[in-house]
């Protein structure tokens, strides 16, 4: 089966291998969130927003963010994600004045997500037919 799948995906570049409905995607995300102990409401849009915000905070090049999220090179969408929170402003001020030790821990501890071992499919497709409503 693996060889058939590998052959199929190599021959048909723009076709989806496994079609997923929007509702099935939502159910999968909610089940994963429940297992992970996430109690806040979650959706594909919120995950996309979180990824964009994380990429901005990690200082990714704007062109890479635009490409990965499917925005045009001249899109101003990135400005929506370049918001700063109070903690960012306080830490930057303390760091620039030399008052924040380099090994200081953040005031709010955030549990980092487990790294996933798979290729990011979003880089292979321009559109996202697998998560669109039917």
CA dist 11 → 2, 4, 19, 28, 129 (Å): 14, 11, 17, 29, 19
Q: Which residue has the tokens 């402003």?
A: 89
CA dist 128 → 12, 38, 67, 123 (Å): 16, 25, 13, 10
pTM listed for this prediction = 0.51
Q: Which residues contact 12 (CB under 8 A, 6 or more apart)?
A: none
pLDDT (tens digit per residue) in 45-99: 888 888 988 888 888 899 999 999 999 998 888 888 776 667 777 888 888 887 7
**pLDDT of the residue at 45:** 87
């Amino acid at each position: 089966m693996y060889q058939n799948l590998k052959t199929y995906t190599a021959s048909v570049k723009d076709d989806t291998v496994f079609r997923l409905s929007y509702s099935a995607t939502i159910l999968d995300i909610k089940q994963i969130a429940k297992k992970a102990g996430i109690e806040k409401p979650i959706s594909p849009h919120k995950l996309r927003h979180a990824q964009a915000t994380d990429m901005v905070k990690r200082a990714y090049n704007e062109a890479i963010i635009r490409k990965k999220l499917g925005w045009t090179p001249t899109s101003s969408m990135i400005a929506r994600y370049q918001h700063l929170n109070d903690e960012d402003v306080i830490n930057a001020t303390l760091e620039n004045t030399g008052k924040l030790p380099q090994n200081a821990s953040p005031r709010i501890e955030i549990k980092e997500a487990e790294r996933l071992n798979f290729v990011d499919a979003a880089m292979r497709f321009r559109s996202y037919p697998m998560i669109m409503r039917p």
